[in-house]
Amino acid sequence: MLPEKTDGLRVEHVTQRFGGLLALDDVSFTSEKNRITGLIGPNGSGKTTMFNIISGFIKPTAGRIYANGDDITDLAPHQMAAHGIGRTFQIPKPFASMTVRQTIELASRANPKTGHSDPASIAREAGLGDKLDLYPGELTTTDLHSLELVKVLATGASFVLLDEVFAGLNPSEIEHVTQLIRRFADQGTSFLIIEHRMRAVMALCDHVHVLLYGRLAKSGTPIEVTRDPEVIEAYLGAEAIEHA
């Protein structure tokens, strides 16, 4: 049984069907406050579907989602900011006609109560301090990923869903974004991360949940998860674990 109240995010008995396809099968887990939690699994395991449910883009066939004890299952995406929930996407989605400064200022107005009041300061923390007046087309791939994260944090989000934030980055760029996530985590932001790169999961996450074929197969520390025989066979592979 899950606790009655959890600080952070609680997914309770979520099932999702798309016609005859069972994408998620009675999945329950928690992503606690002040932690970096990983959500991993092979392609088609239901990770993105779960993110879409948590962030309000689709409604589950069954089950509920709670944020700090509040039922957010029926909220629309634009209502999530009021509950401190923010989300990034695997492919950055910048506003092409807006500068970094304008993007952050717009994001900060999504939730007037908690939105970031100083675009320059949050940009500096993300390494974008000298790029406030640049447009997305003038930014590097790393900068675009940083801006995607900053755009969410500018809303005042206390809990951020990160969807494969390292996709397309080289090792040095991954290190930059890893440090950025840790910096904001140290300041009190909680994260739930979808990620395929096990090195990043091992380096970042305090706790990991594994989805296999739409069901929750394993939860634990990164080391516990990567030693689980079912996870190794279905997802990681023994060789991948040795080199993780």
For the segment 85-115, what is each residue's pLDDT rounded down to a tens digit? 999 887 888 888 999 999 998 888 877 666 5
Q: If you count them, how many residues does the chain have?
A: 244
How many Cβ atoms are within 10 Å of 78's Cβ, its own excluded?
9
pLDDT band at 238 (very low <50, low <70, confident <90, very high): very low
**Higher-pLDDT residue of 136, 203:** 136
Is the pLDDT assigned to residue 39 strictly greater than 90? Answer: yes
- pLDDT for residue 63: 97
- Cβ within 8 Å of residue 97, ≥6 positions away: 135
Q: What is the mean pLDDT of residues 8-16?
A: 95
Is the pLDDT assigned to residue 22 strictly greater than 80? Answer: yes
Query: Are 85 and 161 contacting, i.e. CB atoms less than 8 angstroms apart?
Result: yes
Domains and CATH numbers, the chain: 8-242 (3.40.50.300)
For the segment 158-208, what is each residue's pLDDT rounded down to a tens digit? 899 999 888 878 888 888 888 889 988 998 899 999 988 878 888 899 999
Is the pLDDT assigned to residue 244 strictly greater than 50? Answer: no
Q: How large is the angle between the packed helices 141-153 and 100-108, nearest 10 degrees?
A: 20
| Residue 13 amino acid letter | H
pTM: 0.85
pLDDT band at 6 (very low <50, low <70, confident <90, very high): low
Is the pLDDT assigned to residue 28 strictly greater than 90? Answer: yes
